[in-house]
Every structure is written in structure tokens, then in C-alpha cells.
């Protein structure tokens, strides 16, 4: 029975960790895209 709880706990952590990781990646991608858009606008302004 103890093994079941350890597995379940690990599995929950793994799922939560993956969800958090995907959310982090998504926000990083979004901020990078926003950064690129801003840089492109700045470039157009200087040209």
C-alpha cells in the first residue's frame, strides 16, 4: 500500500510539473515573440 501512495504522489508531482513547465514555456515563447515584435518595430522606426 505504501508503494501506491509513493507512486501516486510522484505521478501527481510529475503531472503538475509538466503542466507548470508547459505554462512556463508558453509564457517564455510569448514574451520572446513580443520582444521580437518590439525589436522589429524599433528597426522599422530607425530605417
Q: Enumerate residues 6+ apart whose C-beta is below 8 A from 11.
A: none
pTM: 0.45
As a whole number of angstroms, the distance between CA 31 and CA 25 comes to 10
Q: 1 falls in which pLDDT band (50, 70, 90)?
A: low
What is the rounded distance in angstroms from the CA atom of residue 33 to the CA atom of residue 43?
A: 15
User: What is the SS3 string spanning 3-43?
Assistant: HHHHHHHHHHHHHHHHHHHHHHHHHHHHHHHHHHHHHHHHH
Return the minimum-mean-pLDDT range out of 7-11, 28-32, 43-47.
43-47
Taking only the tens place, the pLDDT of each residue in 17-42 is 888 888 888 888 788 888 888 888 88
At residue 10, does pLDDT exceed 80?
Answer: yes
Amino acid at each position: 500500500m505504501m508503494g501506491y501512495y509513493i507512486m501516486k504522489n510522484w505521478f501527481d508531482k510529475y503531472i503538475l510539473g509538466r503542466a507548470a513547465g508547459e505554462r512556463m514555456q508558453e509564457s517564455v515563447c510569448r514574451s520572446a515573440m513580443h520582444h521580437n515584435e518590439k525589436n522589429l518595430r524599433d528597426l522599422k522606426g530607425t530605417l
